[in-house]
Amino acid sequence: MNHPAEPDTQLDLLEHYVKKILAAPVYDLAVRTPLQPAPALSAALGNQVLLKREDLQPTFSFKIRGAYNKLVQLSDEQKRRGVITASAGNHAQGVALAARELGIKATIVMPSTTPQLKVQGVSSRGAEAVLYGESFPFALAHALQLAERSGQTFVSPFDDPDVIAGQGTVGMEILRQHPVRLDAIFVPVGGGGLIAGIAAYVKYLRPEVRIVGVESEHSNCLQQALQVGERVVLPSVGTFADGVAVAQVGAHCFELCRLLVDEVLTVSNDELCCAMKDIYDDTRSITEPSGALAVAGIKQYVARRGVQGETLVAIDSGANINFDRLGQVAERAALGAGALA
């Protein structure tokens, strides 16, 4: 069937995002992270694996890119009134740091069950932490209500074109750092902001590069949305990979993902623990469970398809994990490796 108007509209949409990505002034605060070879993993898989080290950002995840790009573009009046968000994780740290850098007052609503460490992470960066509700949806509702009452701008962790464009700078860096053969980029997915931004940039310039989303099997909201063609709400989500524990993909994110994402894989918690060990073995650095999703996805992809000699990039998206959880991760990695062998 012919839809003569469609290709142009899609191209316009991509071009709109590419321009926003090119103009995003994230390097006031974020750093250009290395695209680093993983020699042991590459040898084991028979493919060249490169890690995009977003765990090396200030605040230890890529979220600082989107948060800063959103805040820096607010009007003077919006900046004066301040910003508000709901998050117990990496987005909270990103907003707090970006707000301090720009001299904007930030309020972060966190579920009352949030560990003290993360509450401190926010308040030590000068933001006001408000503890509210038993779980994330209650904190979110409260934040939206406060925003309406106070006139503060609500900053979504993923469902905002400026946030998506900020995260898209990761894709821009990958293409500049690796202008030669590149077969696929594996991207961890929570609400879909990171993959939407990366896909917009990469598919515009190098449409032959596959964009593969990787979700936890306990929070596969993008995979399900793509299957049925609309944004589903998951009845419950697992929180082992807390950075991606999202029940519904963002609307702006889905608009891009349905056009641009080639496939979505899901991985188990045991596969995540094994991938955390693989990353440690190659880099001597620790990632959080969400940060290891893409590497777990590459291992599954190679095992299923039997591809050899390809160049595969994994976004190593974050490193915020409490030290006392590492024992459990190491144990499960040992068990998981046994089970997979």
Contact status: 269 vs ligand PLP (CB under 6 A): no
- Which residue from 41, 44, 132, 53 is spatially nearest to 88, judged by alpha carbons? 132
Among 290, 302, 314, 333, binds ligand PLP (CB under 6 A): 290
Contact status: 57 vs ligand PLP (CB under 6 A): no
Among 318, 321, 332, 333, binds ligand PLP (CB under 6 A): 318
Scanning 43-51, 186-194, 231-239, 322-330 for contacts with ligand PLP by CB under 6 A, the matching segment is: 186-194
**What is the C-alpha separation between 254 and 290, in angstroms, rounded?**
20
3-class SS of residue 44: helix
**Which single residue brings its beta carbon nearest to ligand PLP?**
318
- Which residue from 301, 292, 330, 302 is spatially nearest to 53, judged by alpha carbons? 292
Scanning 8-16, 73-81, 135-143, 182-190 for contacts with ligand PLP by CB under 6 A, the matching segment is: 182-190
Q: Map residues 74-93 to x or -, x wherever contact with ligand PLP holds by CB under 6 A.
A: ---------------xx---
Of the candidates 52, 63, 79, 118, the residue annotated as catalytic is: 63
Q: Is 277 a catalytic residue?
A: no
Indicate the length of the chain as a whole number: 341
Q: Report in angstroms how near the CB of residue 320 gets to ligand PLP at its nearest.
A: 7
Helix locations, 46-187, DSSP H: 63-72, 76-81, 90-102, 116-123, 136-150, 161-177
Hey, what long-range contacts does 20-25 have (CB within 8 A, 24 or more apart)? 20/161, 20/162, 20/165, 20/168, 21/165, 21/168, 21/169, 21/171, 21/172, 21/197, 21/200, 21/201, 22/172, 24/65, 24/69, 24/162, 24/165, 24/166, 24/168, 24/169, 25/68, 25/69, 25/72
Contact status: 94 vs ligand PLP (CB under 6 A): no
- Which residue from 128, 25, 14, 31 is spatially nearest to 70, judged by alpha carbons? 25
Contact status: 194 vs ligand PLP (CB under 6 A): yes
Question: Which CB, 195 or 310, lies closer to ligand PLP?
Answer: 195
**What is the C-alpha separation between 328 and 7, in angstroms, rounded?**
49
How many other β-carbons are positioned within 10 Å of the β-carbon of residue 245? 23
Scanning 13-21, 102-110, 132-140, 189-197 for contacts with ligand PLP by CB under 6 A, the matching segment is: 189-197
Q: Report in angstroms how near the CB of residue 206 gets to ligand PLP at its nearest.
A: 21
Q: Is 317 a catalytic residue?
A: yes
Inter-residue contact 320 to 89 (CB < 8 Å)? yes
Question: Which CB, 82 or 213, lies closer to ligand PLP?
Answer: 213
| Size of residue set near ligand PLP by CB under 6 A | 22
**What is the C-alpha separation between 184 and 212, in angstroms, rounded?**
7
Question: Which CB, 81 or 258, lies closer to ligand PLP?
Answer: 258
Contact status: 244 vs ligand PLP (CB under 6 A): yes
Q: Report in angstroms how near the CB of residue 179 gets to ligand PLP at its nearest.
A: 25
Question: Which CB, 61 or 269, lies closer to ligand PLP?
Answer: 61
Active site residues: 63, 317
| Chain contacts with ligand PLP (rule: CB under 6 A) | 61, 63, 89-90, 157-158, 167, 188-195, 243-244, 288, 290-291, 317-318
